[in-house]
Amino acid sequence: MLKGYIFLRILNKCITFALSNNKTNTIMIRKFTPEKIIELENNEFFVFGSNIQGEHVGGAALFAVNNFKAINGQGFGIQGNAYAIPTCIRLWDNKCNRYTKPFDNVNQIKPFVDAFISDAKRFHYSTFFVTKIGCGIAGFKVSEVAELFRPCLEMENVILPKEFVERLLYPVVIDNLHKRGFIGCGIHYVDSKVMKYVMDNIELNSLDIILNAYTENIKK
């Protein structure tokens, strides 16, 4: 815990130094998709997991119909203030009952996520709030789905769930800190609360800028 506290003090010094040297324009605070989205502006979209047929009968899909004008019968793409990404399919059982079957693997979701990313780049003036698609009814792991959205870390108009960001950034941040000697040289681990602080508040590129600035300063 003490070593984690020491690291946090060093990190705060890094931030103070960067701010004092007019680097505020390069520091971005990371945003996460809110747990509850009640309303959206005209240029904002609620990104949810759907079935390929567009039968929005439960979960985030039904919420999107009731609140953001998602369209029943449309399983993919922009609809109202919503954007559907298929993660499953609706089928009939032998008793003529309707049920939901998840895609066999996340590779079947990837083409739809890639198409979403292309649309988000094209509509760069809009903001897309991605929910934990595929992790509810479809039953995929956060680690599996999050990886599909890795390119979105570089996109300011795509907001990801906190769980996705943590999964994607944790190993990269650790590697970043290790290369700069913050881990391994006197500090052999980073307290989990400190890592949470880093990933909650600082963009990956801003962490890079801050640590570079501080490292250059202490060498003088």
| Domain residue extents for the chain | 2-31+168-219, 44-160
Whether residue 202 is predicted with pLDDT greater than 80 in this model: the reply is no
How many residues would you count in the chain?
Answer: 220
pLDDT tier, 216 (very low <50, low <70, confident <90, very high otherwise): low
> 132-146: per-residue pLDDT in tens?
999 988 889 998 999
26, pLDDT greater than 60: no
- pLDDT at res. 200: 61
User: Would you place residue 185 in the very low, low, confident or very high pLDDT band (cuts 50, 70, 90)?
Assistant: very low
What is the percent of the chain with per-residue pLDDT over 90, rounded to a whole number?
47
Q: Does domain 44-160 have CATH number 3.40.220.10?
A: yes
More confident residue, 10 or 89: 89
Q: What percent of the chain has pLDDT over 70?
A: 64
Neighbours of 28 (CB within 10 A): 12
Looking at residue 107, what is its pLDDT? 95
d(CA 109, CA 145): 9
Distance, CA of 50 to CA of 77 (rounded, Å) = 10
Higher pLDDT, 28 or 40: 40
- For 15, the 3-state DSSP assignment is helix
Strands of 60-192, DSSP E:
77-79, 82-92, 98-102, 127-130, 158-159
* Model pLDDT, residue 167: 85
- Residue 175 pLDDT more than 90? no
pTM confidence score:
0.75
Nearest to 147 by CA among 128, 160, 129: 160
Query: Does pLDDT of 199 surpass 70?
Result: no
From CA 60, how far away is CA 35, in angstroms rounded? 12
How many beta carbons lie within 10 A of that of residue 52, not counting itself? 16
DSSP 131: -
**Per-residue pLDDT at 176:** 67
- The pLDDT value given to residue 196: 63
pLDDT higher at 121 or 92 = 121
83-89: average pLDDT: 96
What lies within 8 Å, CB to CB, of 190 at 6+ separation is 3, 4, 7, 174, 177, 182, 183
Taking all residues of the chain, what is their mean pLDDT, rounded to a whole number?
A: 80
**pLDDT confidence of 91, banded at 50, 70, 90?**
confident
pLDDT (average), residues 38-67: 94
